[in-house]
Amino acid sequence: KDHRTYDLSQAILNEEIEHESWFSEFLGEGPSGHILRRGETSPFVSKFLR
């Protein structure tokens, strides 16, 4: 098992969950409880973009 690949797949999964929460809130389905992101880069994948 490659730990870097596993970490990257976890980061992508977290990013997808956050995006789905935001989109649900955007469509008016109520607050999703996610935290507002600051900056342009995802906190989940930023370590892979260095």
Please write the tens of the pLDDT for every residue from 2-42.
888 898 898 888 888 877 777 777 777 666 555 555 666 66
| Banded pLDDT at 46 (limits 50, 70, 90) | confident
pLDDT of the residue at 32 = 58
pLDDT of the residue at 34 = 56
pLDDT of the residue at 33 = 59
Number of domains in the chain: 1
Domain limits at 29? 3-48
Going by C-beta distance under 8 Å and a sequence separation of 6 or more, which residues neighbour residue 21?
32, 33, 34
Q: Distance (Å, rounded) from C-alpha 2 to C-alpha 22?
A: 31
Answer positive or negative: Cα dihedral of 27, 29, 41, 10: negative
pLDDT of the residue at 23 = 72
